[in-house]
Amino acid sequence: MSAVQEAVTDAPAAVEAVPKRALTLGTGTSLVMLALLIAAPLFVKNFIIFQMTMLLVYGLAVLALNILTGGSGQFSLGQSAFYAVGAYTSAILMEHVGMNYALTLPIAGLVCFVFGFLFGQPALRLSGVYLALATFALATAMPQLLKLGYFEHWTGGVQGLVVTKPDAPLGLPISQDMWLYYFTLVVTIAIYIFSVNLLKSRSGRAFMAIRDNEIAASAMGINVALYKTLAFGVSAGITGVAGGLGAIAVQFVAPDGYTITLAISLFLGMVVGGVGWLPGSIVGSAFIIFVPNIAEGISKGLSGAVFGVILFLVIYLVPHGARQVALVAQHLVGKLKKR
Amino acid sequence: MELFTNQVLAGIATGAIYACMALAIVMIYQAIDHLNFAQGEMAMFSTFISWQLMQWGFPYWGAFVLTLALSFAGGILIERLLFKPLAKAPILTNVAGFIALYAIINSVAGLIWDFTIKQYPTPFGSSPFLGSQLISTHQAGMIGVTILLLILLYLFFQFTRVGLAMRAAASVPESARLVGINTSWMIALGWGMAAAIGSIAGMMIAPVVFLEPNMMLGVLIYGFAAAVLGGLTSPFGAVIGGFLVGIFENLVGTYIPGVGNELKLPIALALIITVLVVKPAGLFGRPIVKRV
């Protein structure tokens, strides 16, 4: 039986078991993608470069959710909270402390890692819908916490903070947008490689064992509590870096930018990209950035309905997201080669 | 002490709204094993239908019954047309489907009936109930309707053949199919019933929160919280959960200083999570037993 059929005929489990080798792209495809991502901004306007930067930023956030859900089988509607913490960490360090933008990112990641790791502790006892509710609570609480009077000196309260956009270093003759795009691209690729290797490592196998069967995993000697919280931490850390990059790209952070809507978008991005398939994250990110605009373009009054219909069409055609498309394509290429 | 009693009473009054919604959520969870994010929007749409019927001159109860029937049919239709094709898809894909349905219903309702706030009539009147300023006759009526609904559902699930078949289809679909139950139609029936109960919830809630396309957003969140708190497997738990969430929310707002309307929701949710950490299947839910 081919890989495609296998994936389709599987009984619906909580999160599907994605085999490890199916998590990534082949070397050839990866290089073509990379070349495209490097070359594309040379031919387009600044606004589109900005959109492409956001594409990478949301791609990272979707990737982070993918590690958590596709990797370790835990569901989260709270990613917007981690994104917000990352964005605010970067913004505060840049504006109040005067730190270099590039240096704020690892700190944002670290802060979010710790935050996610700690949040993972109580979340350990919960799974499925209950975990969804807990993370959902986090997502609804975060904008309110950021608005609180106590932190207003640092966070700027409801007004938020304005972030300065960095210039290209060493007097390179490229625009701020383009510099930021390439900077984001480098960070994204680094994190992508890290994630792929993480999932291929001993820890990644532990994540997947927990995803597929928690009890069996613990019987094999996997420290379930440790790896589940670790997955939360890593996911939150990556989301935090994405948040920091997003804050720099948008040049602005405000509590209302990080509501539950963002968390839901990221979730949709993961489903459209294919749960557990890391390269799909970028496809999912493209979906959540461009499809709402397209829907708005088709009908102003009914944009929500158009968006819903497009989403339905996508999940009817490819219930397993972009991963399914990739598998079919791989299958076809394989057939051609055999001939 | 009087402040405390009054706040608890007011909490029960708002809790009745959440209890209604939670009941609808648990119903569909029983039938399809997912939380339906579009539940609130379906209820809102039903409420708009009843409002439209009344605008066309139907009496309240006439519109009520007709809406109930339409919602039941509508729920079944949505399942047959939209979600049956997704039955084999992964759960997360189904959840994405619910979000899509949410967006569609919300947007269509906004287009047909626009976003202005509308008054919605109550069949119970809105004078103070038994001389108490905190609970109006409408809220008392709403509590009564919720409890009545709960009793009817209990009777339906315990003492009718269809109720038994639905329970069987939900708990062990494989075996249910072997003894000749059409599980696919049981799911559709579950959707229909959830839509009908949702429409009752909507029509009871609308006089309190006023009618507009986004009226259910807050209610849905509290309804979810209530359903999860009470245990998703227990309709009785859902109703109790609804009242508890209402009381929680009111007491938090009164007794914890510096909590405005903004922080009520996060704190109420945090409390619920604390309860869940101690009792992971909810207060009245069956503990989940897993096989390796």
Domains and their CATH numbers in chain A: 3-338 (1.10.3470)
Measured in angstroms, the CA of A260 and the nearest CA of chain B are apart by 12
pLDDT confidence tier of residue B48, bands split at 50, 70 and 90:
very high
Residue A84 neighbours by CB under 8 Å, 6+ apart: A142, A143, A146, A243, A253, A255, A257, A258
pLDDT of residue B4: 82
Q: What is the pLDDT of residue A5?
A: 33
Task: Judge whether residue B169 has pLDDT over 60.
Answer: yes
Question: Which residues in chain A are closer than 8 Å to B101, comparing Cβ atoms?
Answer: 308, 312
Residues of B in contact with A305 (CB under 8 A): 103-104, 107-108, 111
Domain of residue B113, residue span? 2-120+135-278
CA atoms in the 13 A half-sphere facing the CB of A319:
23
Distance between CA atoms of residues A169 and A100, nearest Å: 12
Residue B128 pairs in a beta bridge with: B136
Q: What is the pLDDT of residue A134?
A: 82
Flag whether B285 is in a domain.
no
Instruction: Give the closest residue to A80 by CA, choosing from A258, A250, A252, A241.
Output: A258
Between CA B73 and CA B82 the distance in angstroms is 14
Q: Smallest CA–CA separation between B86 and chain A, in Å? A: 7
> For chain A, which ranges sit under pLDDT 50?
1-13
* Residue of A16, A126, A302 with shortest CB distance to B90: A16
Element (H, E) at B132: strand B132-136
The helix/strand/coil state of B133 is strand
Most confident residue range from B44-53, B109-118, B168-177? B44-53
Per-chain mean pLDDT for chain B: 84
Q: Does A320 contact B at CB distance below 8 Å?
A: yes
Interface of A with B in 219-258 (CB under 8 A): 219
CA distance B253 to A28: 59
Chain center to CA of B86? 23
Rounded (5°) CA angle A199-A126-A10: 55
More confident site: B48 or B268: B48
Predicted pLDDT at A42 = 79
Distance from CA of B148 to the nearest CA of A (A): 28
Q: How far apart are CA A274 and CA A325, in angstroms?
A: 9
How many whole angstroms separate alpha carbon A99 and alpha carbon B214? Answer: 43
Q: Please report, in angstroms and rounded to a whole number, the separation of the first and last CA atoms in chain B.
A: 52
Do B103 and A320 lie within an 8 Å CB cutoff? no
Residue owning tokens 């909507």: B202
The answer to whether position B231 is within a domain reads: yes
Structure-token pair, residue B174: 């494989």
* Token pair listed for A120: 């993972």
Give the total number of structural domains in chain B.
Answer: 1
Residues of chain A with pLDDT > 70, as a percent, come to 91
Q: Which among A133, A137, A312 has the least Cβ separation from residue B82?
A: A312
Contact between A133 and B272 using a beta-carbon 8 Å cutoff: yes
Judge whether B115 lies within some domain.
yes
Nearest to B173 by CA among B87, B288, B91: B87
Q: What is the largest CA-CA distance in chain A?
A: 69
Q: Is the pTM of this model over 0.80?
A: yes
Asked if residue A120 lies in contact with residue A248, where contact means CB atoms within 8 angstroms, the answer is no
Phi, psi (deg, nearest 5) at residue A266: -60, -40
Q: How far apart are CA B5 and CA B238, in angstroms?
A: 23
Distance from CA of A166 to the nearest CA of B (A): 35
Q: Count Cβ neighbours within 10 Å for each residue of B233-253 and write b for 16 or more, e otherwise.
A: bbbebbbbbbbbbbbbbbbbb
In sequence order, which residues have a C-beta less than 8 Å from that of residue B199 and are 6 or more positions away? B42, B43, B46, B47, B49, B50, B67, B68, B71
The per-residue pLDDT for A3 is: 37
Q: Which of B88, B92, B107 is closest, CB to CB, to A303?
A: B107
Q: State the pLDDT at residue B130.
A: 65
Judge whether B292 lies within some domain.
Answer: no
**pLDDT for A245:** 92
The predicted pLDDT at position A12 comes to 39
- The answer to whether position B291 is within a domain reads no
Please name the residues in contact with A197: beta carbons below 8 A apart, sequence gap of 6 or more.
Answer: none
β-pair type (A252-253, B132-136) = unpaired
Kindly report the CATH number assigned to the domain that includes residue B179. Answer: 1.10.3470
Q: Do A275 and B273 touch (CB under 8 A)?
A: no
Check CB contact under 8 Å for A126 and B103: no
- pLDDT of B131 reads 63
- Range from A281-290, B31-40, B146-155 carrying the lowest mean pLDDT: B31-40
Q: Which two tokens stand for residue B228?
A: 């999860």
Q: Which residues of B touch A271 (CB under 8 A)?
A: 92-93, 95-96
Chain A residue with minimum CA distance to B100: A308
- Put simply, whether A17 touches B (Cβ < 8 Å) is no
Instruction: Specify the pLDDT at position A82.
Output: 93
Is B126 domain-assigned? no
Minimum-distance CB partner of B91 among A12, A140, A311:
A12
The Cα B228–Cα B232 span in angstroms is 5
Minimal C-alpha gap between B254 and chain A (Å): 18
Q: Which of residues 25-64 of A touch B (CB under 8 A)?
A: none
The type of residue at A272 is: V
B190 located within any domain: yes
pLDDT of residue B261: 65
Q: Does A147 touch chain B (CB under 8 A)?
A: yes
Least confident of A31-45, A139-153, B55-69, B126-140: B126-140
Interface of B with A (CB under 8 A): 35, 82, 85-86, 88-93, 95-97, 99-104, 106-108, 110-111, 221, 224-225, 228, 232, 262-263, 265-266, 269-270, 272-273, 276-277, 280-282, 290, 292
**pLDDT value of position B190:** 87
Task: Give the best-scoring range by mean pLDDT among A257-271, B62-76, B114-128, B135-149.
Answer: B62-76
Contact A311 B103 (CB under 8 A): yes
Question: Which of B92, B107, B111, B113 has the most A C-beta neighbours within 10 Å, making it the best mutation to test the interface with A?
Answer: B92
